Structure 1
Amino acid sequence: MTLCLGVETSCDETALALVRDGQLLAQRIATQVGAHAVFGGVVPELASREHLRALGPLLDGLVADTGVALGELDAVCVARGPGLLGSLLVGMSLAKGLVLATGAALVGVNHLWAHLLAPALERPMAFPALGLLVSGGHTQTYRMDNPVAFTTLGRTLDDAAGEAFDKAAKTLNLPYPGGRFIDVLGQLAEADPALFPRPYVANDNLDFSFSGLKTAMVNHVAANPDLRAPALVDDLDALVAALRARGALEPLARACASYNLAVADTLRIKTARALDASPGVRSLVVAGGVAANGMVRAAMTALARERGLDIVLPSLALCTDNAAMIALAGEYLFKAGYRHGLDLEAVPRGRSIPWDYLQGAPGQARAGGDWTLDTRTGRP
């Protein structure tokens, strides 16, 4: 029996979770959305301070929820990056302190890999797999040969899909975080496939660029200023009522639906190319905050069915940043013999996460084996 604590402070969600042999025992999350909404985006210094304020009470609550003593921990698994450096350092400090106090192993976890492993908390995953990570800061594809061996196929060159959603929402005067408002409003109208371009697809590579799509929305709103929503309304029902009262609901909903379709089509085109470059995969895994988008989920499900692949989508709760995924990813690494020393460093966005574990090399553990995960036992 292996007991792992997960620590997640990459951006604006503070989370702690306990996982035992692939099973989530409990999780505590504190969101900072309200603190950052007034600024229309995450303020790094404020995020760091909120993490520092929240971690102590979250840890106390997690222990109370489970009755687990910290001395029982086998490993403390912490998100080491990519993310906001100040935020990562807060979580790293807690993790190292717990390791010193309990004697548990320290395991640094790649936050992006953890997102793609999160669905294994809910259902079996078959490897090798093709992973599509779609979040606010990253849009990337990976070949996943097993839970500790990932190969990057395509990556974000500038704006990620989630950032494109947030910037479009801000242009439309929708509340922060705006991606969910675009998704829901888009379900109220038919998309116009010709309204927005499919960015950076007229090439033969696997990388992503959504800056052009974001600019297309800015130009569209500049030419149609009536699309902008009224003064920020956080309640969706109230926003829909206000838009309907001024006769602006249908054109705004159509713009949102068309933007959704442009993002989903772009992801589908690039993911199909990644599948062509990854023969032998058994499943398509889609994860990250944008994996909660209804049109993206539908497009990826259709693609997987076309290719005869298992589609693996996390529940909406596991799409956002969380500590359960960090604990699970760290458990796989720990069981494969990988751990870090107390000199473990946080890695901010824009830098590659090094493979600097004290034992082994990427993919050596169980490489080539049958890594179909059984969530009933937590073991492959």
Structure 2
Amino acid sequence: MLCLGIESSCDETGLALVRDGKLIAEKLASQVDVHAVFGGVVPEIASREHLRVLPVLLAELLLEQSLTAKDLDVVSVARGPGLQGCLLMGLNFAKGLVFSTGAKLVGVNHLWAHLTAAGLEQELQFPSLGLLVSGGHTHIYYIESPLKFTLLGRTLDDAAGEAFDKTAKSLNLPYPGGKLVDDFGRRGIVDKKMFPVPYINNDNLDFSFSGLKTAVATYVNSHPELRLGSMGIPESNSEPHEIVTARNNMLASFNYVVGRKLEVKIERALKRNSDVKSLIVAGGVAANSVVRKVMGKVAKRFSIPLVLPSLHLCTDNGAMIAYAGYLMASSGCRHDLNLEAIPRGRVVPCDWICD
């Protein structure tokens, strides 16, 4: 079975081919440079970029593999959640391919695809506990199979990834700032009292990061010397040593709080779901060094394996959509041309047709 995956939920245009569960080729067009000047993603611009590059990437992908669109058995596409206009670009492109080739159409839950992406590199064990940490979502799932996810906890306001980007922005670090926060934080020393670990003195599995964002903004406002004069990447030789050290210590302390917050909630979830066979951590923030280290320690304490996708599979990509589509199609699940895009804020329905 040859499955094409199409990812266009935000600012990455990804296409990939998975044959019988194995990734054979992929293409990715990033819009980071386009949106960096605005300090975040501009939906209208992102949609137009998807429309521009989708046919180009598909032509290149098929040509390099000596394939044609007629060779596709399945076309899987991220149908949500995401930016409505961006999702529609990918969805309509997928429908056109299906209509012209006769391939099966599969609409993929973008969030679930993140959590099954590691299956491209290793065998997944079920049931598993899944932690999705990204720019738009922070969710905990009980995963019984690639087609059955139960949401146990979610963020009540802001996602972890947004907290990273807003922290970077408060210091005039360029978008996307999560990697820079991680990189500079690794050079600093953690002060556990600098920021509070919010919303852990409760009995639920939900998250809240708005308080941490406010604490960071307050700290930076009271220490304006940490903010760069203009947007850019700080150079240690061009600033006083004490400012560089203080900024790195602040970012190290921020990373610590995020890691500690995730640790508390995941430990709580594992205690309540003692039958899980592994801990899966996915999404863009799963590339953060502190998060990976902390989750490794948690998994070790509970004597289960930690499943982490490779760094290139943590961010949005076509490979995860192709693999998730392959898993669904292999189980006899598909959609018809009435498939709808589901924007962020709405639950993606399990409305597939099973043959």
The alignment of Structure 1 onto Structure 2 pairs a total of residues equal to 355
Q: Secondary structure at the match of 2:143?
A: strand
Which residue matches 1:377?
none
Q: Distance in 2 between matches of 1:243 and 1:200?
A: 38
1:273 and 2:272 matched: no
The offset of 1:242, in angstroms, is 4.9
Which region of structure 1 is more displaced relative to structure 2, 305-314 or 59-68? 59-68
Which residue matches 1:333?
328
1:262 and 2:257 matched: yes
Checking the alignment, whether the CA contact within 8 Å between 2:2 and 2:73 is kept in structure 1 is: yes
Output the TM-score relative to the length of structure 2. 0.98
Q: Distance in 1 between matches of 2:238 and 2:273?
A: 46
Checking the alignment, whether the CA contact within 8 Å between 2:84 and 2:341 is kept in structure 1 is: yes
The offset of 1:229, in angstroms, is 2.4
Q: Secondary structure at the match of 1:189?
A: coil
Q: Distance in 2 between matches of 1:243 and 1:317?
A: 32
Alignment of 1:255-334 (within 5 A): 255-334=250-329
Q: Secondary structure at the match of 1:342?
A: coil
Identity of aligned residues (%): 56
Q: Secondary structure at the match of 1:168?
A: helix
Distance 1:26 1:216, change over 3 A: same
Q: Distance in 1 between matches of 2:238 and 2:263?
A: 31
Which residue matches 1:114?
113
State the Cα RMSD in Å: 1.1
Q: Distance in 1 between matches of 2:198 and 2:140?
A: 16
Letter in 1 for 2:271: D
Which residue matches 1:26?
25
Which residue matches 1:130?
129
Checking the alignment, whether the CA contact within 8 Å between 2:172 and 2:232 is kept in structure 1 is: no
Q: Distance in 2 between matches of 1:259 and 1:330?
A: 37
Alignment of 1:152-191 (within 5 A): 152-191=151-190
> Deviations for 1:57-114, whole angstroms, at most 9, x for unmatched residues?
1001101121122111111000000000000000001100000011011000000000
Consecutive unaligned residues of structure 2, counting only runs of 5 or more, are none
Alignment of 1:24-173 (within 5 A): 24-173=23-172
Letter in 2 for 1:147: P
The offset of 1:243, in angstroms, is 5.5
Q: Distance in 2 between matches of 1:259 and 1:9?
A: 30
Checking the alignment, whether the CA contact within 8 Å between 1:229 and 1:243 is kept in structure 2 is: no
The offset of 1:175, in angstroms, is 1.0
> Deviations for 1:266-301, whole angstroms, at most 9, x for unmatched residues?
001011111122121010000000000000000000
Which residue matches 1:376?
none
Q: Secondary structure at the match of 2:15?
A: strand
Consecutive unaligned residues of structure 1, counting only runs of 5 or more, are 361-380
Output the TM-score relative to the length of structure 1. 0.92
Q: Distance in 2 between matches of 1:192 and 1:335?
A: 50
Checking the alignment, whether the CA contact within 8 Å between 1:221 and 1:228 is kept in structure 2 is: yes
Q: Distance in 2 between matches of 1:124 and 1:144?
A: 14
